[in-house]
Structure formats: structure tokens, C-alpha cells
Amino acid sequence: MIIQKTENSRISTFDPSDFSFGNTFIDHMVICEYEDGKWGDVKVVPYGPLAFTPAMMGVNYGQACFEGMKAYKDKDGQVFLFRPEKNFERINKSAARLAMPEVTEEMFLDGLKALVDLDRDWIPYGEGLSLYIRPLIFATEEALKARVANKYMFAIVATPAKSYYTEPVSVKISDHYSRAANGGVGSAKAAGNYAASFYPTQLAIEEGYEQIIWTDDATHEYFEESGTMNVFVRINDTIFTPPTSEKILDGVTRDSFIQLAKRRGIEVKVEPIPVKTVIEAQKNGTLKEVWGVGTAVVTTVFQALGYQGEKLQLPTLSDEESYAATLKNDLVNIQNNVTEDPFGWRVLVDHVMETV
């Protein structure tokens, strides 16, 4: 690994109590280039722009995929990653589906740890605070040819992140647009999946909703995901989430919620969720909660479901009554090293860069 430390650190300009998530970048980034069938050296370099032309294949044909993960700081200043091997596995699954080269564990995990260690001062400490990390792979070959590219870049950039707290939102159950199709790329974190979701989401926002519950493309009769999150439904005291498939992203938060719920003895059913069942449960009063889960905000609770012109309200539960709130609390306590980690999910980031 090649480490090129910045001579112009911006850390003195960073105010952990007043920063803009997604626009504030840490001092360094990881880059690694792929050419002639192999990856070159992993480099940790000062964060900044790179030179590409508009003929870069990644922006023309969309060979681009990414990951989203976080690093957390505990009260003693120790830094932890959360289940990073899951993101490593998933970026390679995404890369394979997009006919891009897979990255090695050394590039991904060692690059990640080196970056987070070097810029650990950028990780804010406190409730809801963390560092959001974005590993990505994109085609860099300069060619206007619709074929698999032969040059790529692997990069990791990161931005301090704040508050998990989000207001309950209203979501529209999609009866027309789809996020993913059978045989498509829904289970990959392909950049194009997000581009394709923006327009339907814009339409839903115009109708007074914040997000879309994506349903299956063939019939629109089954829940798949919600916005950029996996979805959970609670009917009486059982929680349901759809099985992962080639249309559903295998979310790290989803998997963690399933395990945390089982540990608490909550009944979890991983099975297709018919829209009809949810609507009926809302009408007969057995629908208790619907929520989305993902790395960025952990949980977003839904207050209303829009379906075929009707807005169906969901009950308002206290944090003690709510499974969404209880499981979120269990999860963030593990992530922030506040409680035991019975699953072995935390990965400590050692101090190694001080000596470099």
C-alpha cells in the first residue's frame, strides 16, 4: 500500500457539531487502478478531483457500483467498523453482475482500515454520529464502445455523518414503476439502479409522499424494498420481511435486524409480503408497524401508506411498544460499543498509521 499524506489537512475547519453530511469529505481517499487484467497498488492519497474525460465508459454505459458503510467512535475514542466483510462480499457480487473486475480483500479491507485509521479525527463522537464510507468501482476506459471496459478504478471516499433521527414518513406503494426486474440488477448496488429510481420518487413526492415502497415488476402485488432500504412489516407481534432475491438488495441492516429480533424472541417470517395482506391488516387493525432499514439512517418509520389513491394511516407507537425502535436501539448500541457484541459484528480499527 502506498500512503501519501496530505500536507494541507482541513481537519481544523471541521466542526463536528456543525457540518454538512455528504458534502464534507475527510482528508484522504483510497484509489487503485485496474489495467491489463490486474489491479495496481492501493494508494491512500489526499482527497481531491481526478482527471477523466466525458468519454469515460463508466459514465456512458454505467459500469459503476458502490457500497455504503460506516465507522463508529466509542466514548474512549476507539474506532469500529460494522460487519465490513459483508460490504466486501457485496461489492464483488455487484461487480460480477456488471462484468467488472472483483476487488481483493486486501484492497478493500486493508484500504478501508488504513483510510479510517489515518483520518480517525474526522469521525465525530456522539449519538447518531459516525463516518459514512463509500467504496466504489467504476469503468475509466476512454472509449465510446458499448462493451465491457478494460480499465477501472476502485476508490474509497468518506464523509462525516450525523443523526439517525428521521421523522416518520409517508410512503407510496408503487403500482406502476419498478426498481428491479427478474433477471435484472436489483440485488447489485449498481449506480444505475439509483438513477432509475429518482423519477418515480419525484412523482411520489409531488403526490405528498416521501418514499416509494417498491413492489414486484410483474404484478405489483408483493412488497420488495422501500426507497433505498429493506422493508419490514409487523402484523400483530410477528415481523415479516421479503426474502432476498435477484431483485432485492441483501442489506446488512436487514440481516442484523433479523438476528436481533430472533435474539429477543420476536417471531420473524422471511417470506413474500402481499400488498393485499398489508392493506387488509391496516383495515382490521392488526397492522402495527411498517419500517425501512439501511446503513444511512438505520430505521425510517412509516406513518402512512399510499395505495391506489388512498392514504392509510399507521398507528403511532411509543419507543417501548415499537419493534422498529427497540431493534434499532439494540443495533446502534452494538455499533457504538455501548453493549456487548454477541454476534462478533464490530471490527476494531487499530492505530497503525501513526507510524507511517
The C-alpha atoms of residue 249 and residue 189 are separated, in whole angstroms, by: 7
Closer by beta carbon to ligand PLP, 252 or else 304:
252
For residue 148, the minimal CB distance to ligand PLP (Å) is 24
Question: Which residues lie closer than 8 Å to 6 by C-beta, 6 or more apart?
Answer: 27, 28, 46, 47
Closer by beta carbon to ligand PLP, 31 or else 296:
296
> What beta strand segments (E) does the chain contain?
2-3, 28-35, 38-39, 43-46, 64-66, 69-73, 79-82, 130-139, 152-161, 169-173, 211-215, 223-226, 229-235, 238-241, 267-270, 287-294, 298-307, 310-313, 346-348
The binding site for ligand PLP (CB under 6 A) comprises 68, 225, 228-230, 249, 251-254, 294-295
- DSSP conformation class of 301: E
Closer by beta carbon to ligand PLP, 205 or else 356:
205
For residue 251, the minimal CB distance to ligand PLP (Å) is 3
- DSSP conformation class of 73: E
Question: Which residues lie closer than 8 Å to 322 by C-beta, 6 or more apart?
Answer: 289, 301
For residue 192, the minimal CB distance to ligand PLP (Å) is 12
For residue 290, the minimal CB distance to ligand PLP (Å) is 15
Closer by beta carbon to ligand PLP, 44 or else 248:
248
For residue 99, the minimal CB distance to ligand PLP (Å) is 20
For residue 293, the minimal CB distance to ligand PLP (Å) is 6
Closer by beta carbon to ligand PLP, 34 or else 291:
291
Closer by beta carbon to ligand PLP, 135 or else 251:
251
